[in-house]
Amino acid sequence: MASGLSATPLKKINLVRIAHVYYKHKNINEAKKFAQDFGFAQTAEVGKKTYYRGYGTEPFVICLEASNEDEFGGAAFVVESMEDLMQAAKTLPNECKATEIYDLSDAPGGGKCVTFYDPVDGFPFHLVYGQTPVEARDVDFPIVRFNFPKEKNRGANEFQRFKKRPAPVHKLGHFGVCVTDFAKCYDFYTKYFNFFPSELVHNDEGVNKTVFFRLNRGNDLVDHHCFFFFEGPKMHVHHSSFETHDFDTQVLGHDWLRHQGYKNCWGVGRHVMGSQIFDYWFDPSGFILEHYVDGDLLDMREPTHNTKAAPDNLHVWGPEVPATFLQ
């Protein structure tokens, strides 16, 4: 391993996409019920772990584990090659406590993994390679044709009809955490990985305190952000965000969760940075999970945007930002 954060790696570890997240729950039965109502599909149960997929090709997008504590277990990113995985195991700083490469023998899709720990706040971070994708599922979305004032796309005697149900999850889009040292975290993740700042948000003194990272994949289109963090007094996971199909699906999911008695955190609304239509919910353990649709896609022609922190920068329409949202 490298001796410390000041070491310069020979090359960056190349990440391809975000894959899945882990959460631990004291009340696993309530957590599993919420997962179904949120739109995940259970795919395997191994020991204390229950794995859920979306309707895309990832073998799983979230894993819930029965535990004595409610705890965030980290996010996983797919690396480009076995060489990248080997590099992570051998060259990350000592503070990261990177594991050797190990088999994901019990997880859907299999594959190999290296786990390391954030060098500032110690939360786990997983790198995976060689997982076997699954066949995408048809979850029977209706074909929606909008009639606009001057453009009518629905034929005579055709109707818009929807079924009340949870909003089926497609994929994991991003996750975010509160960190205790923004500058040190920013230096680490940009030095060792192909993260690129889509947005940097600064305070009144011009000091950056929030970043929305996308992956540098050259000319490939990637999500506006897959990982974000902001500085605060205590490290905690902020939320994990999952893509669903469209606005109707999202709001049907909102109503489903509301009728099941779950607590809405914030939404429905439209973000500025990333443009997503958002809907945040508290699960029974108090973790925040988001449904989103219609996010921006960027390539490396788009530069970093620098913005001063302000409430109006978070959303263009929707409910007011909850006072505790950024705590």
Average pLDDT over residues 53-82: 98
CA 27/CA 59 separation, integer angstroms: 25
Per-residue pLDDT at 163 exceeds 60: yes
Q: What is the pTM of this model?
A: 0.96
Q: What is the pLDDT of residue 326?
A: 82
Average pLDDT over residues 47-55: 98
Q: Quickly state the pLDDT bin for 143 (edges 50, 70, 90).
A: confident
Question: DSSP secondary-structure letter at 55?
Answer: S
For residue 301, is it left (φ>0), alpha (ψ between -120 and 50) or beta? alpha
The predicted-structure confidence for 77-107, as pLDDT tens digits, reads as follows: 999 999 999 999 999 999 999 999 999 999 9
The predicted-structure confidence for 196-242, as pLDDT tens digits, reads as follows: 999 999 999 999 999 999 999 999 999 999 999 999 999 999 999 99
To the nearest 10°, report the CA torsion of 300, 305, 306, 307: -150
Provide the 10 A C-beta neighbour count for residue 242: 25
Average pLDDT over residues 261-282: 98
CA 173/CA 223 separation, integer angstroms: 8
The predicted-structure confidence for 171-196, as pLDDT tens digits, reads as follows: 999 999 999 999 999 999 999 999 99
Q: What is the pLDDT of residue 311?
A: 78
The predicted-structure confidence for 209-221, as pLDDT tens digits, reads as follows: 999 999 999 999 9
CA 47/CA 28 separation, integer angstroms: 12
Spell out the residues 6+ positions from residue 196 whose beta carbon is closer than 8 angstroms to its own.
Answer: 190, 213, 214, 215, 216, 300, 304
Average pLDDT over residues 100-128: 98
Angle at 129 between CA 128 and CA 133, to 5 degrees: 105
Q: What is the pLDDT of residue 4?
A: 47
Q: What is the pLDDT of residue 7?
A: 54
Question: What are the tokens at 223?
Answer: 């999500």
Q: What percent of the chain has pLDDT over 90?
A: 94
Average pLDDT over residues 149-168: 95
Q: What is the pLDDT of residue 89?
A: 98
Q: Quickly state the pLDDT bin for 8 (edges 50, 70, 90).
A: low
Q: H-helix or E-strand containing 35? A: helix 28-38
For the ranges 17-21, 160-164, 220-224, which has the lowest average pLDDT? 160-164
Question: What are the tokens at 241?
Answer: 């965000």
Give the mean pLDDT of the chain. 96
